[in-house]
Structures are given as C-alpha cells and as structure tokens.
C-alpha cells in the first residue's frame, strides 16, 4: 500500500514499472496502481502529440519529465 503522490489516496502500489533508476523506484514507492494505469494510457497520447521517439535518449528524457509531471513526482 502506498499513499499516492498524484491522487493522495492510500491504495495498492503500482508495482514493477520497468522504468530505470530513480524514476522507477519513485513510482513503485509513491504511485498507486490506478494512477499508474492512467499514465500508461495517457503516455501514448503524449508520445503521439509531441512526436516523441522513445528509442532516442533525448526523447526518452522528455517522456520521463512528462511522467514525473503527470504523477506529481519531484525531479
């Protein structure tokens, strides 16, 4: 159980996200499964809207920034 940084509710955590480093750890420790699910759906729209190519490091870093912003995680 986590108290979610985004919605403020205490719920089941997001679990393993597959994201590297500090961002992945923050999500696992501070984001609920429901908000993580919302982000996984929203990130597709973000990628398409901004024309991001996650295979490129610079675009991946931009996407991580949007992830932090959406989930209300400090940089």
pLDDT given for residue 75 in this prediction: 58
pLDDT average per 10 residues of sequence, the chain (75 residues): 96 93 94 97 97 96 96 85
Give the residue among 38, 39, 13, 37 at the shortest CA–CA distance from 26.
Answer: 13
Residues of the domain holding 63: 2-71
Give the residue among 24, 74, 65, 33 at the shortest CA–CA distance from 46.
Answer: 65
Instruction: Quote the radius of gyration of the chain (alpha carbons, Å).
Output: 12
pTM, full prediction = 0.91
CATH code at position 23: 1.10.3880.10
The domain tally of the chain equals 1
Contact (CB, 8 A) for 12 and 38: no
């Amino acid at each position: 159980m986590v108290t979610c940084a985004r919605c403020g509710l205490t719920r089941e955590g997001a679990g393993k996200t597959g994201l590297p480093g500090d961002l992945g750890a923050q999500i696992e420790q501070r984001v609920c499964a429901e908000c993580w699910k919302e982000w996984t759906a929203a990130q597709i729209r973000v990628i398409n809207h901004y024309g991001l190519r996650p295979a490129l490091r610079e675009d991946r870093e931009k996407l991580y920034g949007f992830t932090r912003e959406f989930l209300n995680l400090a940089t």
